Amino acid sequence: KLDVSRSTIVDDMKVESVGPNKFAFNFENSPTETIVADGTDQPGLSGSTLAVKQADERTMTVTRKQDGKVIVSAHWKLSPDGRTLRDAFTAVQDDGSNLSTDYVYRRTAGTSGFAGAWESTTKPNGLKLEMDIQPYGNEGLSFTSSGSTKDVTFDGRDHAAEGSKDVTFSGRRRGARTMDYTEKNGGKVAHLRAFQLSRDGRTLTETLRTPGHGVPDVFVFQRTE
């Protein structure tokens, strides 16, 4: 189970102005969503809808729905100098509870307005995240978190992810308490994950490096069973 207080969780997003009152959003290296900022529900990722409304030059609201129900709401406010973005964010977690976080993003690219690259290291206190690790085949492990499972074989070779032609995993064991795996998409490195198990076997630290991100994510998990 994730220990948020001991973790460093980096949130990155990119916003591009692509036309009059029209923006392209990229959240955490997910596929880009292009939305007209008129407040209407428009097709988004994974069957969701995304609605964006820009009230003025410094204020924007973002709402994502799944099956007609709000799962994410965010209220963005730019600082007068355009270098800081404050996000009053609320999301529905897997157990149905709400997670509310006041994120503070700093601009890493761009000069004015919402368009640009943004990075936040605000701790999302109250975030509930569990990871289950089980044996996979003779040389592998299955990592399950938030309903998604990644099967990794630790032989140093690329293996296609189940149900995908583009995603591959390649794992290596570095010792009795260390291992890492590389995730590629279309032959390009998407994520590098390194794991370190404490000597007492109670704490697992995952360091996640993503190309283009200056600061790695560090997730500290406590064993529950």
pLDDT band at 217 (very low <50, low <70, confident <90, very high): very high
Quick one: pLDDT at residue 94? Answer: 86
Quick one: pLDDT at residue 112? Answer: 92
Percent of the chain with pLDDT over 90: 91
Quick one: pLDDT at residue 56? Answer: 94
Whole-Å CA distances, 163 to 140, 151, 159, 168, 189 = 18, 12, 12, 11, 19
Quick one: pLDDT at residue 211? Answer: 87
77 Cβ neighbours under 8 A, 6+ residues apart = 58, 59, 85, 86, 87, 88
pLDDT digits (tens, 9 = 90+) for 48-97: 999 999 999 999 999 999 999 999 999 999 999 999 999 999 999 989 99
Say how far apart CA 127 and CA 101 lie, in whole Å: 9
200 Cβ neighbours under 8 A, 6+ residues apart = none
Mean model confidence pLDDT for the chain: 95
Q: What is the mean pLDDT of residues 23-40?
A: 94
pLDDT digits (tens, 9 = 90+) for 156-196: 999 999 888 899 999 999 999 999 999 999 999 999 999 99
pLDDT band at 109 (very low <50, low <70, confident <90, very high): very high
* Contact call for residues 15 and 114 (beta carbons, < 8 A): yes
Give the pairing of strands 49-56 and 178-185.
Answer: unpaired
Quick one: pLDDT at residue 26? Answer: 94
| Res 203 pLDDT > 90 | yes
